[in-house]
Each structure stands twice: as structure tokens, then as C-alpha cells.
């Protein structure tokens, strides 16, 4: 992921950059779950923080490269009414680099693309505390993630957009406990539903 960050910073400093690209920042919340962990629902929430560069190459069309931090994972909330006191909390800290294609229509912009993520750190807990290293829940996650992205944004005012984005891992981020693989289910996958505010800085020219 260090190479990815280096490329992003290099793009931000090349000669004539501000004459070709525009920049922006985004801040939001991600609701996430792990497909394949037998816990349904987007019950894990976490921050989404980052920046992006974009370039308009045709009327209403632009492409975009971003760099962002996102907290993913999974969560099970106890249900005391039925005597269920078990808890589960998985935190996955990622740095992602999305590559998006945008199409603008009036105040709406639809976008799609891919993102490459690098796992910085992760931990997992139950109602007692962190799982021991010998448990199945401590089996390793993949260091990198490849995911698709689809979303839409709405221009609230000049330079400010409200954005909703869905993301799903194209490759498994961790194997099943049993190691079983069948058809398209080859392990566990990240699923994310993000809402954010995106601010586009005005160019200097």
C-alpha cells in the first residue's frame, strides 16, 4: 500500500497538475458487514475520510482517483429479551484507492469503478474480550482487497455533494473456517454502504 500512496502523492505534485486536475475531500460514515460470517445486517459502522483528484475529459464525464481511510467489519448485538448475551465485533482498518468514472446529469452524478484496499490493522472481540490467537476467528485476513463501487451523488450547493456508495469485494478477504470453496462463494467478502459529504475545491484558474 506504500507504493499506492507514493503514486497518489506523485500525481499531486507533478508539474502542471493544478491546470489539469481538480481536488476534493470527503467525509462520511460506512455501514458494513462480512458476507459469509453468518451474521446478517449492516450493523458495523465506522468513519470514512479521504481526498480525491478528478479530471473532466468530456462534457458531463470525468474520471477520479482517491485515497481514503475506512473502517470496515462486522458486529453482532446481544438480544437480552430472548436471553442472547453474546457479542461479536470485528474491526478492519483499510486504506483504499478508488478509481471511478463519473457521469453528471443536472444535479445528480452517477459513478462506478474499482478500488484497491490495503489492510492496516484488524482485531476481533466477543463479550469476554479479544479472541485468543489460537481461535478460528484469528485466522488471517488477506492483506489486499479488490472491490467494485457503485453510487450516486446529489449537488446540495456549489462544490458540496451528498453521496451514497455501495461496495463489494470481488475477491474473498478471508477464507471460510472450513476452507470450503464452491462456485462464486470462495470465502468471506466485505460489503459496505457509505454515505458522505464531498467537497470540491475551486481550481486556481
Could you give the CA distance from residue 78 to residue 86 in angstroms, rounded to a whole number?
Answer: 5
pLDDT of residue 203: 53
* Residue 162 exposed, middle or buried by CB count within 10 Å (0-12, 13-18, 19+): middle
Query: In 121-158, which positions are buried (b, 16+ CB within 10 angstroms) versus exposed (e)?
Result: ebebeeeeeebeeeeeeeeebbeebebebebebebeee
Number of other residues whose CB lies within 10 A of the CB of residue 94: 27
For 19, residues 6+ apart whose C-beta sits below 8 A from its C-beta are: 205
The DSSP letter of residue 142 is P
Average pLDDT over residues 177-203: 88
Average pLDDT over the chain, rounded to an integer? 89
The DSSP letter of residue 137 is G
Q: Going from the N-terminus, what domains does the chain have, and what CATH number goes with each? A: 23-200 (2.40.160.20)
Q: Does the structure show a pLDDT above 90 at 9? A: no
CB 101 within 8 A of CB 94: no
| pLDDT tens string 28-87 | 999 999 998 888 889 999 999 999 999 999 999 999 999 999 999 999 999 888 988 899
| pLDDT tens string 146-172 | 999 999 999 999 899 999 999 999 999
pLDDT interval class at 178 (50, 70, 90): confident
Amino acid at each position: 500500500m506504500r507504493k499506492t500512496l507514493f503514486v497518489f502523492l506523485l500525481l499531486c505534485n507533478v508539474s502542471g497538475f493544478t491546470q489539469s486536475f481538480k481536488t476534493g475531500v470527503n467525509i462520511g460514515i460506512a455501514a458494513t458487514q462480512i458476507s459469509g460470517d453468518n451474521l446478517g445486517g449492516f450493523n458495523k459502522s465506522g468513519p470514512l475520510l479521504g481526498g480525491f483528484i478528478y479530471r473532466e475529459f468530456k462534457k458531463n464525464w470525468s474520471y477520479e482517483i482517491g485515497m481514503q481511510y475506512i473502517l470496515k467489519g462486522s458486529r453482532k448485538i446481544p438480544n437480552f429479551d430472548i436471553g442472547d448475551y453474546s457479542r461479536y465485533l470485528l474491526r478492519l482498518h483499510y486504506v483504499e484507492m478508488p478509481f471511478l468514472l463519473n457521469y453528471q446529469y443536472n444535479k445528480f452524478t452517477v459513478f462506478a469503478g474499482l478500488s484497491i484496499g490495503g489492510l492496516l490493522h484488524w482485531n476481533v472481540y466477543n463479550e469476554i474480550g479479544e479472541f485468543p490467537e489460537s481461535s478460528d476467528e484469528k485466522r488471517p485476513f488477506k492483506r489486499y482487497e479488490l472491490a467494485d463501487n457503485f453510487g450516486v451523488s446529489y449537488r446540495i450547493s456549489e462544490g458540496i455533494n451528498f453521496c451514497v456508495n455501495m461496495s463489494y469485494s470481488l475477491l474473498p478477504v478471508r477464507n471460510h473456517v472450513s476452507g470450503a470453496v464452491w462456485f462464486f462463494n470462495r470465502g468471506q467478502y466485505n460489503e459496505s454502504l457509505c454515505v458522505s459529504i464531498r467537497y470540491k475545491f475551486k481550481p486556481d484558474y
